[in-house]
Amino acid sequence: MSKDNVDFELTPFRKKATEKTKTINKAYYKKMDWDRLEIEKAWATKNVLKDVPFPVIKPNDSLLPVWNLKRYEFLEEEDIPNTVHPKLWEQGKLNLHAGLFQATKNIFQVRGYDLANLSLVRGKTG
């Protein structure tokens, strides 16, 4: 990679936000509907039957996990950095709730064990 493109190099370390990114994220933070976010938080935790905080799933014969929600625990511990859009940060926090939930009388969901949810429907025959 040439010297001129050093800023575009991929790295596991956080880079500083540009002034434009800081300005955009600060402006969006100020206009976010925080009351609506509280409603979304309530929905994300509503009707929990079994709470499983920060599950880590790894095969018995492996040291490396195949799913590790604990890696995202920092979302609850840190303030929103100016490198991240505030809504994206808050959405990430909503995804941390894991366990078994009852969506309706006959619909249940397993959440937090992947980026997708598993929905179970109880029918009249099973």
Query: What does the pLDDT look like over 21-59, one tens digit per residue?
Result: 999 999 999 999 999 999 999 999 999 999 999 999 998
Question: Would you say residue 116 lies in a domain?
Answer: no
Cα distance between residue 52 and residue 99, in whole Å = 5
% pLDDT > 70, the chain: 91
**Structure confidence at residue 10 as a pLDDT band (50, 70, 90):** low
Neighbours of 69 (CB within 10 A): 20
Average pLDDT over residues 110-123: 92
Q: Residue 34's domain spans which residues?
A: 17-99
Question: Would you say residue 7 lies in a domain?
Answer: no
Question: Would you say residue 88 lies in a domain?
Answer: yes
Average pLDDT over residues 49-77: 91
Question: Would you say residue 82 lies in a domain?
Answer: yes
**Structure confidence at residue 2 as a pLDDT band (50, 70, 90):** very low
Question: Would you say residue 79 lies in a domain?
Answer: yes
pTM above 0.85, yes or no: no
Question: Would you say residue 4 lies in a domain?
Answer: no
Question: Would you say residue 29 lies in a domain?
Answer: yes
Q: Which residues contact 115 (CB under 8 A, 6 or more apart)?
A: 95
| Average confidence score pLDDT of the chain | 89
**Structure confidence at residue 1 as a pLDDT band (50, 70, 90):** very low
109 secondary structure, DSSP code: E
What value, to the nearest 5°, has the Cα angle with vertex 62 and ends 58 and 65? 35
Question: Would you say residue 55 lies in a domain?
Answer: yes
Number of domains in the chain: 1
The pLDDT score that the predictor gives to residue 126 is 75
Cα distance between residue 76 and residue 97, in whole Å = 11
Average pLDDT over residues 97-118: 94
Average pLDDT over residues 63-85: 92
Whats the size of the chain, residue-wise?
126
